[in-house]
Structure 1
Amino acid sequence: MSPIKNPTTFFAYIRRAPFGGRLTQGQIDGVNAILDAWEYFKLTDHRWLANILAQVFHETGGRILPVRETFASTDKAAIANLEKAWKAGKLSSVKTPYWREGWFGRGQIQITHKANYLKLGQRLGVDLVKNPAKTLDPVIGARIAIVGMAEGLFTGKKLGDFFSHNTDDPVGARAIVNGSNKAKLIATYHKAFLDAIEAARGAVDAADALPEAAIADDVKPAESSTVMSLLGGTVGTAGMSALLGVNNPWGFGIAALVLLLGAGAGYMFLSGRWSVNRIKGHA
């Protein structure tokens, strides 16, 4: 079960850190893909979820959605980039150029080499050898990231080695994916995601979580699936129609707040909880 009971709070928190004050719809979609995969595998330790999000954040360069190795836009470009780097001596640890046959890194946590495509594909029941590009599907990529980290399918190290009743080691957990590379930095991402998860466990918005902070910056507020789901059940059809023309995020937030307050006041009057009593004048 997802620990995120309040998406407004969660996305408002991660907007600040680790996303640095800006959220795109792609990043929101990527995070939601991880959350959906988390529910799919029925995991429960919030530290595991925070670390998965942190490592994916780093491995994708903050994109959260699946990427190709070197962040190339095409397979051909990825192969060319790796070949160039290898010939320039920048990949000294690589003995065999695995990318030449198409087994370069893909995914939220990039898997390389044919053997790993085979192993992860068999674990998920997906033929990744016949079609390695399936790792670029956000759903499949997210499941690879989670099962790979939970079961130690990337490096032999798994989440349970670093997060348990007796252990809490977000720095050491970097070994699940890539040794100690940027371990302390990724631990700061882990803390930011964990803080957001814990803050979002309650049904009530955190005091410092504004609704407009949960909206993607590159999507008009009226087109944001995140904010529409938050407001739709509260302000009704007429209120939603009034919001559709407001495209400035801050203006949208103010308009949404006014509608919410108005809806609340209307409910209080109609339900009899509030009333207007006329004060009699003196004769």
Structure 2
Amino acid sequence: MAAALNRAAFFTAVRGKPFGGSLSQGQVSGMESLLDACPPLLGTDALAYCLATAFHETARTMLPVKEYGGEAYYRRMYDPQGERPAVAKTLGNTAPGDGVKFAGRGYVQLTGRANYRRATGELQALGILDRTMDLTATPDMALVPDVAAAIMFRGMAEGWFTGRKLSQYFGAGVTNATGARAIINGSDKAYEIAGHFQAFRAALVAAQHVPGGVTPVPIPPVTVGPLVPPIPRNSGVLPPVMPIPAPTVPEPKPGLRAGILARLRAAYPPKA
């Protein structure tokens, strides 16, 4: 998995819009995680909207965050003993304390025991988590950028959060960046996020994003000139054989999923 585009061109473009002229290392590393986790066939418009959503939901940091509000807020809003038990039930929160334990985390604020359970199964099936890793047991794993990115793309594509999916708003001649806010949160800040979508889309186009394509490789400048001094006709001298340089093959990038698993095992060792 990874988006096929010229990343240098992408970061140059987004530095101007929507980031206003500068990027922090955190913002760059967060977007790297998102581009690495992007399903290769995801369309340019859909990817731009996912990036715009992350931009908004993380307050421009592009790093996974935990929903603001504090424990009292989580208990009141999401706990089965709080003020909205029907909402808690919909989220799968059944035990006292579930509201706090399964508060929103990540790029799109994964919330509720049921969503953490679903995300665990989906990411285990993808090989991003192994069978010893369970988000319902260790919810803070949803704050790991690689995990949070996979949750965002999978969840927005499959309608985990509200039942609405990316395919309903992008593709087959349809682009509805304002309506797409319903994938995450009704119509809250829909026009603002649609503006961010336009900036990210322009950056992806400038970076030659191609769904299902191969990441463009920069081609060094070619110096044009005679290879050897000209040889007079009928001199009986054969031109020297010019050696053909061996192609330069870049070192293979370590497997993305293997790298994620290694980092997760280091941060969250299996319990004895």
TM-score class, shorter-chain normalisation, is: 0.5 to 0.7
Q: What CA distance in whole angstroms lies between the structure 1 residues aligned with 2:101 and 2:74? A: 12
Provide the TM-score with structure 1 as the length reference: 0.63
Check conservation: 1:108, 1:145, Cα contact below 8 A: yes
Which residue in 2 is equivalent to 1:169? Answer: 176
Structure 1: give runs of 5+ residues left out of the alignment.
71-77, 203-229, 235-263, 274-283
Which residue in 1 is equivalent to 2:102? Answer: 103
The equivalent position to 1:58 in structure 2, one of 56, 59, 62, is: 56
Provide the TM-score with structure 2 as the length reference: 0.65
Which residue in 2 is equivalent to 1:68? Answer: 66
Which residue in 1 is equivalent to 2:151? Answer: 144
Check conservation: 1:79, 1:104, Cα contact below 8 A: no
Task: Tell me: CA distance 1:93–1:59, structure 2 relative to 1, closer, same or farther (3 Å).
Answer: farther
- 2:116 alignment partner, SS class: helix
Q: What CA distance in whole angstroms lies between the structure 2 residues aligned with 1:114 and 1:151? A: 18
CA deviation vs aligned residue, 1:68-120 (integer Å, no higher than 9, x gap): 111xxxxxxx644636987xxxx987865976541111111111111111111
Q: What CA distance in whole angstroms lies between the structure 1 residues aligned with 2:207 and 2:177? A: 20
Which residue in 2 is equivalent to 1:116? Answer: 115
Q: Give the RMSD, CA atoms, in angstroms.
A: 3.2
Q: What CA distance in whole angstroms lies between the structure 2 residues aligned with 1:153 and 1:84? A: 22
Spell out the pairing of 1:22-37 with structure 2 (5 A cutoff).
22-37=22-37
Q: CA deviation at 1:159?
A: 0.2
Structure 2: give runs of 5+ residues left out of the alignment.
89-95, 210-216, 228-272
Check conservation: 2:65, 2:106, Cα contact below 8 A: yes
Greater helix content? 1
The equivalent position to 1:154 in structure 2, one of 161, 166, 183, is: 161
Q: CA deviation at 1:6?
A: 2.0
One-letter amino acid matched to 1:108:
Y
Check conservation: 1:3, 1:200, Cα contact below 8 A: no
Report whether the alignment pairs 1:11 with 2:2. Answer: no
Check conservation: 2:4, 2:40, Cα contact below 8 A: no
Task: Tell me: CA distance 1:133–1:3, structure 2 relative to 1, closer, same or farther (3 Å).
Answer: closer
Q: What CA distance in whole angstroms lies between the structure 2 residues aligned with 1:12 and 1:199? A: 9
Check conservation: 1:154, 1:176, Cα contact below 8 A: yes
- 2:176 alignment partner, SS class: coil
One-letter amino acid matched to 1:174:
R
Which residue in 2 is equivalent to 1:246? Answer: none
Q: What CA distance in whole angstroms lies between the structure 1 residues aligned with 2:197 and 2:83? A: 30
- Count of residue correspondences: 202
Spell out the pairing of 1:1-283 with structure 2 (5 A cutoff).
2=2, 4-38=4-38, 41-70=39-68, 79-80=70-71, 82=73, 100-125=99-124, 126=129, 127-201=134-208, 268=223
Q: What CA distance in whole angstroms lies between the structure 1 residues aligned with 2:84 and 2:52? A: 25
Q: CA deviation at 1:147?
A: 0.2
Q: What CA distance in whole angstroms lies between the structure 2 residues aligned with 1:3 and 1:84? A: 39
Q: What CA distance in whole angstroms lies between the structure 2 residues aligned with 1:181 and 1:172? A: 10
Task: Tell me: CA distance 1:134–1:81, structure 2 relative to 1, closer, same or farther (3 Å).
Answer: same
